[in-house]
Amino acid sequence: MTVDGRDARWTQHRADRRRELVSHALRAIRVHGAGVGMDAIAARAGTSKTVIYRHFGDREGLYDAVVESVHGYIESGLSAAFRLSDPTDLGTLTADLADAYLGLVERDPEIYRFVMTPPPQGADAVADPVRGLPGLIGEQIADEIERHLVERGLKPHAARTWGHGLVGFVKATADHWMASSPRPPRAEVVGHIAQFFAPARMDAHAPIPVPQEVTR
């Protein structure tokens, strides 16, 4: 099948334009805060809301594109950490995750608030459990954990639980840290997280505790 060069150029143009508009949206969020309106985003981009809606459909589509962009930043840092460390080492893995996550909160608090506040979905929408930044990061970490467990001949059935559980722990810590006054140094918080998880390894063959029946 022959690909029309004009179609390919148009597809590339649309992708480039979307990235450009997302960059403008990020700048508008930094200036106006997480509750920025579409008018302010359009003004920052030097265009109209109609153009933004043409590329993203609605505010929800723009939100998803911003989340994808922010996740791309964290993803690159985590991917580098995975190459340099053993993902089954919970202390190192969680410290790397926390450092990247808290780094976003510290550097871009309004963008963090924006990606943590998805726009309301329609009444008929089906909730996506991995939608948003924590879900995307959780899936990435779960995939890496699963891959390394399989490489070691271990069962990977707990990878989803561990991956999303780690992200949930870090998110709760980040939210508390963000609201703290005075706010302790990021390195100190990351150190506390690493210390908490340091004794644990995901490839350990520890027995699974069986819940005890409560007798009355």
pLDDT tens, residue by residue, 18-69: 999 999 999 999 999 999 999 999 999 999 999 999 999 999 999 999 999 9
Domain residue spans in the chain? Answer: 11-57, 60-118+130-202
DSSP string for residues in 7-60:
HHHHHHHHHHHHHHHHHHHHHHHHHH-TT--HHHHHHHHTS-HHHHHHHHSSHH
Output the pTM of the full model. Answer: 0.74
pLDDT tens, residue by residue, 68-120: 998 887 777 777 767 766 666 777 878 888 888 898 889 899 999 998 888 87
CATH superfamily of this structure's domain 60-118+130-202: Tetracycline Repressor, domain 2 (1.10.357.10)
Please answer whether residues 54 and 48 qualify as being in contact, where contact means their C-beta atoms are separated by less than 8 angstroms: no
CATH number for 11-57 (one of 1.10.3470, 1.10.10, 1.20.950, 3.30.457): it is 1.10.10
